[in-house]
């Protein structure tokens, strides 16, 4: 591909990162709050963010849940499908520390045991403002990672 076309694509992608949401065994509290961010009240789409239904189109992966033994392999498979550079965001207390599920026979987390986490947003569930801040931090990290790849 032409270098000019590649730069144009990179600039376009920078303004509209796509988010893939991955539930690894959560109670759905964080999931509901994450989806609410895309509604009219918080409207994170004004920052160019968009939810995608496939990890192959994602730039940022938002993980909720404590990583159960049943979801671990699926999570690793999904993360391997996300193109580099990617940013991983752990949303809620469960992927950070396993929260109240820690020590359970079915828990194989926390998330950072299995992958590098770029941004952690704590809370059960986190406040919408904290989630927006964490996702915007992820956008900034994504931009830095892309800058390093483009600069190589």
Half-sphere exposure of 151 (CA within 13 A, CB side): 6
Residue 12: predicted pLDDT: 64
Q: Tell me the Ramachandran region of residue 121: left when phi exceeds 0, alpha when psi lies from -120 to 50, beta otherwise.
A: beta
Mean local confidence (pLDDT), 138-147: 87
CATH of 17-147 among 3.40.50.2300, 3.30.420.40, 3.40.50.12280, 3.40.50.800: 3.40.50.12280
Res 95 pLDDT > 60: yes
Distances (CA, A) of 141 to 1, 33, 77, 111: 26, 23, 23, 19
Contact 89, 61 (CB under 8 A): yes
pTM (2 d.p.): 0.85
The full set of domain ranges for the chain reads: 17-147
Mean local confidence (pLDDT), 87-93: 93
Per-residue pLDDT of 13-51, as tens digits, reads 666 788 999 999 888 888 999 999 998 999 888 888 889
């Amino acid at each position: 591909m032409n270098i000019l076309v590649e730069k144009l694509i990179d600039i376009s992608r920078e303004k509209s990162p796509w988010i893939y949401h991955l539930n690894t065994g959560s109670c759905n509290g964080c999931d509901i709050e994450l989806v609410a961010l895309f509604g009219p009240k918080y409207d994170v789409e004004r920052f160019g963010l968009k939810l995608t239904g496939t990890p192959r189109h994602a730039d940022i992966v938002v993980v909720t849940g404590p990583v159960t033994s049943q979801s671990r392999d699926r999570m690793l498979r999904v993360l391997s499908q996300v193109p580099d550079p990617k940013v991983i965001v752990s949303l809620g207390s469960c992927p950070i520390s396993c929260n109240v599920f820690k020590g359970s026979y079915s828990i194989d987390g926390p998330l950072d045991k299995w992958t590098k986490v770029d941004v952690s947003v704590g809370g059960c569930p986190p406040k919408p403002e904290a989630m927006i801040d964490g996702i915007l931090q992820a956008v900034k990290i994504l931009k830095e990672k892309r800058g390093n790849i483009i600069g190589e």
